[in-house]
Amino acid sequence: MVAQTIPVKTFDLVIFGGTGDLARRKILPGLFRRMCAGQMPADARIIAAARSDLDDAGFRQFARDAITEHVKDSQCDESGIERFLASLAFEHLDIFEDSGWKKLKGRLREGVVSAFYFSVGPSLFGEIARKLTKFGLTTDDSRIVVEKPFGRDKASAVALNAELKNCFDEHQIYRIDHYLGKETVQNLMAIRFGNALFEPLWNAQHVDHVQITVAESIGVDGRGAYYNKSGAMRDMVQNHLMQLLCLTAMEPPSKYGADSVRDEKLKVIKALEPVSTLNVVRGQYLGDDGEASYLDHSGDPQSRTESFVALKVNVANWRWAGTPFYLRTGKRLRGRMSEIAVVFKDPPHSIFEGEFDRRGNVLVIRLQPDEGITLRVTIKEPGPGGMRLTEVPLDMTFAEALGDKIAYLPDAYERLIMDVIRGDQTLFMRGDEVEAAWDWVDPIIAGWTESGVRPLPYDPLGSGPEDSLMLLHRDGRRWREIKP
């Protein structure tokens, strides 16, 4: 059985940069899958606006290639593909020129939801916003979608917000953090607030610490030009990891709605203590024996950009005081593994004698791969010979547990684009949230720049620099293993 989806109203979606990499890998395949799932209205229109010399037919071929390459689990046959392609159009547009905008406007229908996806670099956001307003392409109900990176520090994020807000209201601006579109990330809220079991234990009294890991096995090959100016802190921590931290640490919102959830996340960011240099480790992968290094991949032999960061973070509020959150992310690590592990305290007193090493329960929320939840519990080792204890996982993989209720787990972009059309901002970052995140991150990056210290080397396909292990060891804790 295919999961039931709620159809959305018909829409005109304009994708600026519609022939770019994101459109090819994510946006077009995502929209196609939604159409196959019966969620996209038959008369919805998708218009790519770009500088290339394509026409409608050329763009449809581009989309067909994108689908062939990136949709392996299609629920559609050839007639479905044809139906999707028929909804596509192409408009040649140089955003700095005035010509072209009127023609694009002519493509838009009155009385339907119009959304404008800025799938271009942030330096173009302001110009597109201005032109959209100047040429009257938008109404109060139009939405714009912008991608990360949203600025590279607080000042640039404030400037970007101001540019967009000159032309649009906050309720029209959808800032994407694709981690919020991941099924398991939303499940984190379902688990916390849909069960009475966890919430009473979800605090410093019962939780020893929390580990958030986003490990990738790929390097930065091919993305050096972007990544060198960014690094793991800007590329991953300021957005994806902080969002995971917020959803784990926030207070229960009064309802599942855009402002109630985002208000609570903002409170967490504002409660983060500044991170001292002692509590942050940055690394760069350094290969030998034919293994490539970050420096080869980045194209800059002198680069001091970090491809790995680990941090110990304190959330200074009543719920979490004394319970650290350890965050780590890196490229070219042993495996691709993203998870949130909530490590509970040991039982206060052991009634069992012997050598059993008492260890608390751990709730692991696996984002990828193998999305699901595991609860580590202690049980008796089977058989006679005394009371020996052991630990076992209570394991739940969503794909297995939900069986034929899910044909596949949708990609984050599928969900997020449909939320834009629906007008639901819950899974998008609000302007003040992004600025507050930079407020916290900026001093850490400034500290690195001032000190001029190189990131610590780590082995490709390892677990990161030794010092990142020490970050926990010195607190008497240890990271969970990154599995290959």
- For residue 271, report the phi and psi dihedrals to the nearest 5 degrees: -90, 0
Q: Annotated catalytic residue: which of 178, 209, 240, 297?
A: 240
Kind plus residue range of the DSSP H or E element containing 65: helix 56-70
Question: How do strand 113-118 and strand 372-380 relate by DSSP bridges?
Answer: unpaired
Q: Which strands sit side by side in the sheet containing 456-458, from one edge to the other?
A: 389-397, 372-380, 362-368, 337-344, 207-215, 325-330, 308-313, 280-285, 456-458
- Residues 232-261 touching ligand BG6, rule: CB under 6 A, are 235
Alpha carbons 450 and 432: distance in angstroms, whole number: 27
| Closest CB 284 distance from ligand BG6, rounded Å | 15
Q: Position of tokens 């010509």?
A: 99
| Closest CB 376 distance from ligand BG6, rounded Å | 24
Question: How do strand 113-118 and strand 308-313 relate by DSSP bridges?
Answer: unpaired
Residue nearest ligand BG6, CB atom distance: 235
Q: Which two tokens stand for residue 374?
A: 């595991």
Q: Which strands sit side by side in the sheet containing 113-118, from one edge to the other?
A: 88-92, 45-50, 11-16, 113-118, 143-146, 173-175
Q: Position of tokens 């069986």?
A: 403
Q: Which two tokens stand for residue 68?
A: 């062939």
Nearer to ligand BG6, 411 or 419 (CB): 411
Q: Please say whether the beta carbons of 28 and 63 come within 8 A.
A: yes
| Closest CB 227 distance from ligand BG6, rounded Å | 7
Letters for 313-342 (x = contact with ligand BG6 by CB under 6 A, - = none) are -------------------------x----
User: What distance separates the 2 farthest-apart alpha carbons in the chain?
Assistant: 85
Letters for 337-366 (x = contact with ligand BG6 by CB under 6 A, - = none) are -x----------------------------
| Closest CB 148 distance from ligand BG6, rounded Å | 6
Alpha carbons 195 and 184: distance in angstroms, whole number: 15
| Closest CB 82 distance from ligand BG6, rounded Å | 30
Residue 70 catalytic?
no
Q: Please say whether the beta carbons of 268 and 249 come within 8 A.
A: yes
**Using the rule CB under 6 A, is 419 a contact of ligand BG6?**
no
Helices (H) and strands (E) in the chain, counts: 17, 15
The residue among 423, 391, 479 whose CA lies nearest residue 142 is 423
Nearer to ligand BG6, 304 or 319 (CB): 304
| Closest CB 451 distance from ligand BG6, rounded Å | 25
Alpha carbons 230 and 220: distance in angstroms, whole number: 11
- Residues 368-387 touching ligand BG6, rule: CB under 6 A, are none
- Residues 192-221 touching ligand BG6, rule: CB under 6 A, are 216
| Closest CB 216 distance from ligand BG6, rounded Å | 6
Instruction: Give the binding-site size for ligand BG6 (rule: CB under 6 A).
Output: 3
- For residue 328, report the phi and psi dihedrals to the nearest 5 degrees: -150, 145
Nearer to ligand BG6, 216 or 306 (CB): 216
What DSSP assignment string belongs to 458-470? E-TTBSS-HHHHH
Nearer to ligand BG6, 213 or 361 (CB): 213
Annotated catalytic residues are 240
Query: Under the rule (CB under 6 A), what is the footprint of ligand BG6?
Result: 216, 235, 338
